[in-house]
Amino acid sequence: MLGTVCLQAQNVVPVRKVRPDAPAADEVRIAAVTQESVGSVFKLRGAAEIETVDMLLRADEIDYDEEKDYAEARGNVKFDYFIHGEHMEATRVEYHLTERVGKFYDVKGSTPAKLEARPGVLTTTSPFSFQGKWAERLQDRYILHNGFITNCKLPRPWWVFTGSAFDIIPGKRAITKSSFFKLRGIPIFYSPRFYKSLERVPRKSGFLTPSLTNSNRRGVTLGAGYYWAINRSYDAMYRSQWFTQRGFAHNVDFRGKPTQTTDFNYTLYGVNDKGRLNQDGTRNKPVSGVLMKLTGRSELPLGFRLRGEFNYLSSFEFRQEFTESFFEAIYSEVHSQGAIGKYWGPYALNIAASRIETFQWPSPESFPYAASGDNKLSLRKMPSFEFNSRDQEIVKGPVPVYVSWDANYSFLRRRERAFQTRDFVGRGDVEPRILTSLHWKDFHLVPSFSLRETQYNSSLDTDGRLTGQNFLRSSREFSADLVFPTLARIFEKPPKLLGKRLKHVIEPRATFRYVNGIGSDFQRLIRFDETELVSDTRELTVGVANRFYSKDAAGNVTEVFSWELQQRRYFDPTFGGAVVSGTRNVLLSTASLSDYAFLDVPRNYSPIVSTMRAQVGSVGLEWRSDYDPGRGRLVATSLSANGRILADYFVSVGHNQVNEEQVVSTGTRLSGLSPKANQLFSILGYGQENRRGVNAGFLMVYDYTRQVMLYNQAQMTYNTDCCGWSVQFRRFGFGNRNENQFRVAFNVANIGSFGTLRRQERMF
């Protein structure tokens, strides 16, 4: 007899419904081809089923004791638990419905994958599969005996974890005992006890995977570490590396979140260097050092916010020698800054501090003109009190009037090879500003006027010597920004690559700026920041922008091409006496136009600055160039292009060239307006982080001026449905560093990476 019977289960633990057609929380639904009842026992034969709100048990035959709420299933048994998504198959099952306890014999099954979409971690949607002689279910806990687990496709998985016992709590953790990790049936390593967190944000104390790598400058590198989950709010990690030819390196990472709105992260990297070993057995001078970083943020009472970042580097030579990132190794500046601020309406109040250190050469001994032995320039601002206001409309109407201001008082210090100031040089700076806007048809004129008073309690005398004499700088500034009518034309039938419609827009613009009151006092200022770059000027900036907008069939508008041109006319070529012939002059007027210095003599015209951008699909191009009419050539140009082609091919190419004349600034040394440069940067690759099959990439930085490959990196990765292998070669070739590195990694999907190739160093 085919039928379905609904029974009332008195002791079933209520569980939330997970399926629309599920039985009620206190209901047990049974069904079979034939049903027979003997007392409280139901004998179900043929397509037998027992279903509750959270599980479904199916088999060829099932004996169900309603009084004991116990079921025994035999033959092609299938068990589904809907809360966590487990599916199990067995030859025989003994199961207590109320207690959710049971035994499964000759079991195999699966549980949904736990995706960890993090950089460097291969992901797969394949479920975790398992097989074993028998398994126990103890409410939400499973114990698998004499079996294996994997997330590869069966029946020929790439990897399996075999063990005498697997203790698994879905969504929490998995523990294996006496386990072997096998790759294609070959044992790779043995672990008496292995722990894997299955939580969404796992945190568990334990030893880190040891690492082994090799370098021609450091020798064999052995690494080991420990992760300490102190409590819910704090954790710490320590990793030590032994460079057989250089000494020990130490990595410390300490994180914390004391409150919901406060967190910090402290990292430290240091090396006790013995010096590089030469072929004759001697050693170079040790390059021991420390690199430290502390970041933090907090939401304070009364609407105040705290943000800060502190960086410390003992020496630039240490960074070049031991950093693992090329772009970090060549960066010669160290920035630290922090602020407590509050913003309300148009106002902003900040108490800030900052420090900038610029290493002018790798070490004090590496440059012959470092007579004092100091190789860095240090600028410190601590503290600085700032109170600013955005534009506020005080007069409405056809000619509105807006006012704003910037006000601050700072304690400053500057240290360099030539001189150093007092530890606290006071500087007060106040600049109120008034502006309006005038409109006539499609013409828009925005004039503004400001007064600026800056008080210093230290300055330079006429011979350039540091004095403690107070100094007041007063300036007045007038500017007018004129926006001309926009010219536009629409092309109804552009090339198919550019969409359904194409719009060309021409935007001309002109700005006049007048600053007066500084004059020759510009040379008396100690340079701390851009505040001291303000000089007298009478200048006119003219520019024009061409823009092309594409519209597709769906109505989406994209800017596919733009070309902007700018040039400035200087009516005062000496900038009020601020320009010194035969040396590099950096003024606010020149720095706001171009990233490259061009002022070594009085001049009336700036270079023509061109910025060209294009974006077609996923491919972007940018070309910036500075053409100097006085020199009759391009003095600086930078070109970059990047994008993905056909989803799997990606490219990024950049070229930077600076071709400035050199001028004699002192009797002992030559210096250019901008350091000469001619470098090529490129990344070429095929594939993606989670793409199955072969993925390969190549990165290089080449210096044409020195004809040296500064850095190159090549990586090949092969991903299967559940794991992957990565091999990477890197070469450093700058400064005194001439190093080759070879690294490998094995990636298990949804679990992690094992090997010497760290996540932040991977291309895939």
Q: What is the pLDDT of residues 622-651, one digit of tens each?
A: 999 999 998 888 999 999 999 988 888 999
Number of H helices, E strands in the chain: 3, 47
Res. 117 pLDDT band, cuts 50 70 90: low
Cβ neighbours of residue 532 closer than 8 Å, sequence gap 6 or more = 525, 526
The pLDDT score that the predictor gives to residue 661 is: 58
Most confident option among 155-164, 205-214, 278-287, 442-451: 442-451
Cα(503)–Cα(550) distance, integer angstroms = 6
The pLDDT score that the predictor gives to residue 370 is: 44
Decide if pLDDT at 6 tops 60: no
Decide if pLDDT at 201 tops 80: no
Cβ neighbours of residue 656 closer than 8 Å, sequence gap 6 or more = 637, 638, 639, 677, 678, 679, 681
Which residue stretches of 141-292 are H helix? none
Closest CA to 520 of 574, 601, 448, 456: 574
Q: What percent of the chain has pLDDT over 70?
A: 92
Decide if pLDDT at 752 tops 50: yes
Burial label, 324 (beta-carbon count in 10 A; 0-12, 13-18, 19+)? middle
Res. 680 pLDDT band, cuts 50 70 90: very high
* Residue 563: HSE in the Cβ half-sphere, 13 Å Cα cutoff: 5
Cα(480)–Cα(447) distance, integer angstroms = 4
The pLDDT score that the predictor gives to residue 15 is: 46
Q: What percent of the chain has pLDDT over 90?
A: 57
The pLDDT score that the predictor gives to residue 735 is: 77
Decide if pLDDT at 575 tops 80: yes
The pLDDT score that the predictor gives to residue 213 is: 80
Mean predicted confidence (pLDDT) in 52-56: 90
Decide if pLDDT at 3 tops 60: no
Residue range 613-624, pLDDT digits in tens: 999 888 999 999
Query: What residues does 425 pair with on adjacent strands?
Result: 412
The answer to which of 10-24, 231-245, 330-344, 470-484 has the lowest mean pLDDT is 10-24
Mean predicted confidence (pLDDT) in 365-374: 49
572 vs 207, residue with greater confidence: 572
Amino acid letter at 22?
Answer: A
Decide if pLDDT at 505 tops 90: yes
Mean pLDDT of the chain: 88
Mean predicted confidence (pLDDT) in 435-454: 95
The pLDDT score that the predictor gives to residue 664 is: 47
Res. 365 pLDDT band, cuts 50 70 90: low
The pLDDT score that the predictor gives to residue 373 is: 47
Three-class DSSP category at 591? helix
Closest CA to 302 of 341, 348, 261, 257: 341
Cα(316)–Cα(329) distance, integer angstroms = 8
Decide if pLDDT at 488 tops 80: yes
Res. 363 pLDDT band, cuts 50 70 90: low
- Residue 120's φ and ψ, nearest 5 degrees, are 85, 0
Residue range 653-677, pLDDT digits in tens: 999 998 865 544 444 334 457 778 8
527 vs 662, residue with greater confidence: 527
